[in-house]
């Protein structure tokens, strides 16, 4: 109860603190006292003025009560008008009923004053209320305008100082606005850029890209991520931009395109240089493997063959050798043959002769036979489509990826069976290696393979990229691993 009465008391105290209330109360007292004091006299000129207006003294005094009633409406609104009208009625009614010589006229005048005062006070209160609302609306409008101006200025500051180039063009390709980064990127001044058509900046291939992007945006499609676009700079050089484009809509209608661009010319060159370096390093590695394999086959294995024959000859002519010496020579001969098989396997592993002589499929058959021999894993090979030879580099990469996939299945996945499918389609070759091993959680992005320690898979991915192919890795714990590599046949 106390809590509910406090707001009312606070509002009431606020009303009594207003000077206008006390002025109204004083007016009521000032107008009421002479209304009941017959002995109170007015100056002659004032009496003559009232008479000339056709009013009696008491009628004029009743009219004076309009002042506090109307003022109450101005200060306190409709409620103030009603309360002041009741107070005025209380001030005038006793005289009209009890004292006036003409009660009916006095009552009529009192009622008329109350009605007119209430109407004028209410009208004034309503007008003040409308005026206050108008002022409040204008203040809010001014505040909104100020905030919009500040927001626009902040946006313009961000637009001007943005590190990335920003261009705004209309639907016909005319540049409406550009920032400093765009001027720096293209080599033109801001004055030159604004009003220029984007066709002047794009080569023919770039125009085709721009048309496709425009078509997609105008049809309501969103451009996921960014795309590359080539442009001509003012000095005639060609640059590569990475663009993000969006459609600007006003009242549901497309009005412009906004492009945010970043110069990736040097970055692209570095990537190409890195790609070339990786390709050359890989080719050098393969050449070195080929050289070592040839030396092992042509020299080391041949020397071991000669040594094995000499040991065999020594055994056959060893009449003067003891049984113990003969057994020792036989052991040496067996060790030599084991070393020879190991070196031959190493030579084949470095560079299978079947790959260069017969092609991919015979090399894969040899690889499967070799892995089955030393791992004990059951491996099945399937082929579909029209079998044909591929360019040497692509056959080598496909072989290495398959080799690494089998090695990972043997060393890490604890697989007991592997299925390899080689699918020759019209313009592509796809090799899929599926094992039933323990699997793993692959990274979200193939670019995270090296970071997550999957160096073998990262190497496979890099090899696939070198020949323009793609590598897919699907796996989950307990459900094996599926590795697929796809390259074009050209």
- Within 8 A by CB and 6+ apart from 231, the residues are 186, 201, 202, 203, 206, 238, 239, 240, 241
Asked whether residue 303 falls in the same domain as residue 422, the answer is no
CA distance 368 to 390: 20
Asked whether residue 118 falls in the same domain as residue 188, the answer is no
Asked whether residue 363 falls in the same domain as residue 482, the answer is yes
Q: Is 215 inside any structural domain?
A: yes
Q: Is 186 inside any structural domain?
A: yes
CA distance 382 to 424: 11
Asked whether residue 420 falls in the same domain as residue 375, the answer is yes
- Burial tier of 54 (Cβ tally within 10 Å: 0-12, 13-18, 19+): exposed
Provide the CB-side half-sphere exposure for 220 (13 A, CA). 2
| Predicted pLDDT at 301 | 73
Q: Is 146 inside any structural domain?
A: no
Q: Is 147 inside any structural domain?
A: no
| Predicted pLDDT at 433 | 92
CA 276 centroid distance within chain = 33
Q: Is 323 inside any structural domain?
A: yes
- Residue 382: strand, helix, or coil: strand
Asked whether residue 115 falls in the same domain as residue 85, the answer is yes
List strands edge to edge, sheet with 227-232.
175-178, 165-170, 253-263, 238-250, 227-232
CATH of the domain at 470: 3.30.565.10
- Give me the domain span that covers residue 279: 264-351
| Predicted pLDDT at 271 | 66
Q: What is the pTM of this model?
A: 0.47
Domain boundary at 291, 320, 351, which?
A: 351
Asked whether residue 256 falls in the same domain as residue 270, the answer is no
Mean pLDDT by groups of 10 residues along the chain of 490 residues: 56 66 81 73 68 72 79 78 82 79 78 78 75 83 81 70 84 88 86 88 87 87 82 87 86 87 79 64 68 72 79 73 78 82 72 77 86 86 88 85 87 87 90 89 64 70 84 88 88
Asked whether residue 11 falls in the same domain as residue 74, the answer is yes
Domain count, the chain: 4
Asked whether residue 75 falls in the same domain as residue 104, the answer is yes
């Amino acid at each position: 109860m106390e809590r509910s009465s406090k707001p009312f008391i606070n509002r009431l105290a606020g009303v009594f603190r207003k000077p206008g209330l006390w002025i109204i109360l004083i007016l009521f007292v000032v107008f009421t006292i002479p209304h009941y004091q017959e002995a109170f006299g007015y100056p002659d000129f004032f009496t003559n003025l009232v008479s000339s207006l056709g009013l009696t003294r008491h009628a004029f005094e009743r009219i004076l009560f309009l002042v506090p009633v109307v003022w109450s409406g101005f200060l306190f609104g409709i409620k103030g008008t009603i309360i002041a009208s009741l107070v005025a009625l209380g001030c005038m009614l006793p005289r009209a009923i009890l004292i006036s010589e003409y009660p009916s006229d006095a009552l009529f005048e009192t009622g008329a004053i109350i009605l007119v005062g209430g109407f004028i006070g209410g009208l004034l209160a309503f007008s003040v209320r409308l005026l206050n609302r108008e002022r409040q609306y204008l203040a809010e409008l001014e505040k909104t305008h100020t905030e919009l101006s500040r927001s626009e200025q902040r946006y313009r500051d961000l637009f001007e100082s943005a590190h990335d180039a920003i261009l705004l063009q209309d639907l016909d390709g005319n540049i409406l606005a550009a920032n400093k980064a765009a001027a720096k990127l293209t080599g033109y001044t801001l004055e030159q850029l604004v009003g220029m058509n984007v066709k002047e900046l794009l080569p023919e291939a770039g125009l085709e890209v721009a048309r496709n992007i425009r078509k997609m945006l105008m049809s309501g499609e969103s451009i996921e991520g960014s795309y590359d676009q080539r442009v001509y700079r003012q000095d005639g050089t060609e640059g590569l931009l990475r663009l993000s484009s969006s459609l600007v809509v006003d009242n549901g209608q497309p009005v412009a395109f906004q492009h945010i661009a970043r110069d990736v010319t040097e970055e692209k060159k570095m990537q190409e240089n890195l790609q070339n370096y990786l390709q050359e390093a890989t080719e050098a590695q393969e050449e070195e493997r080929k050289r070592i394999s040839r030396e092992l086959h042509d020299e080391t294995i041949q020397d071991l063959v000669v040594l094995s024959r000499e040991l065999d000859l020594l055994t056959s002519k060893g009449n003067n050798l003891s049984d113990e010496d003969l057994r020792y020579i036989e052991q040496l001969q067996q060790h030599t043959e084991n070393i020879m098989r190991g070196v031959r396997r190493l030579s084949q592993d470095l560079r299978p002769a079947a790959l260069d002589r017969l092609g991919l499929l015979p090399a894969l058959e040899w690889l499967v036979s070799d892995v089955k021999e030393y791992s004990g894993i059951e491996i099945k090979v399937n082929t579909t489509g029209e079998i044909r030879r591929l360019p040497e580099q692509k056959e080598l990469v496909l072989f290495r990826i398959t080799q690494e996939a089998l090695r990972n299945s043997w060393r890490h996945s604890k697989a007991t069976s592997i299925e390899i499918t080689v699918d020759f389609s019209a313009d592509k070759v796809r090799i899929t290696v599926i094992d039933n091993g323990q699997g793993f959680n692959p990274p979200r992005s193939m670019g995270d393979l090296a970071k997550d320690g999957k160096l073998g898979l990262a190497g496979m991915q890099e090899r696939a990229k070198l020949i323009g192919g793609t590598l897919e890795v699907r796996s989950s714990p307990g459900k094996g691993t599926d590795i697929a590599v796809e390259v074009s046949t050209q």
